[in-house]
Amino acid sequence: MEIFRGNTSATSEIEFDIEVDETLFTQEIRDEFNESIYYVGEDIQDHVANIVTYLLKGTYDTDDFFEGYGYMSEIGVTFKRMKFHTYDDVVTFD
C-alpha cells in the first residue's frame, strides 16, 4: 500500500448579481454579525463580499441560510445570477 502526500490548489471565481433590499438588510443586522461572528465592516458592500466568500468556500448551511446572517430571503438578499469558475488546478506531491 502506498501513501500519497501532497497538496492541491485552484483559482476560483464567482460572477454574481446580488440584489439587496436595504430596508431588510439593515445596519442592525450587519452590526449584529460584526459583534457575534467576526468584524466584516460597516457597509452593505462589505457584507455582500463576505456572503460571496461564504459561497466561494462552500461554508453555508443551505442555499438560503448563512451562519451569522440567517436566511437570506428574510433579510432581503437575493441571488440573481451566480456563475462559478475554477481555473488552474494544480496538484503537487511531496
Mean pLDDT by 10 residues, the chain (94 residues): 84 85 96 96 94 78 81 91 76 75
Residue 59: what pLDDT? Answer: 64
Whole-model pTM?
0.72
Q: Measuring CA to CA, how many Å separate 49 from each of 12, 15, 40, 45, 72?
A: 15, 12, 9, 6, 14
Task: Tell me, yes or no, whether 48 lies in a domain.
Answer: yes
Task: Tell me, yes or no, whether 9 lies in a domain.
Answer: no
Task: Tell me, yes or no, whether 10 lies in a domain.
Answer: no
Residue 60: what pLDDT? Answer: 64
Task: Tell me, yes or no, whether 3 lies in a domain.
Answer: no
Residue 31: what pLDDT? Answer: 97
Domain encompassing residue 55: 17-78
Domain count, the chain: 1
Task: Tell me, yes or no, whether 32 lies in a domain.
Answer: yes
Task: Tell me, yes or no, whether 26 lies in a domain.
Answer: yes
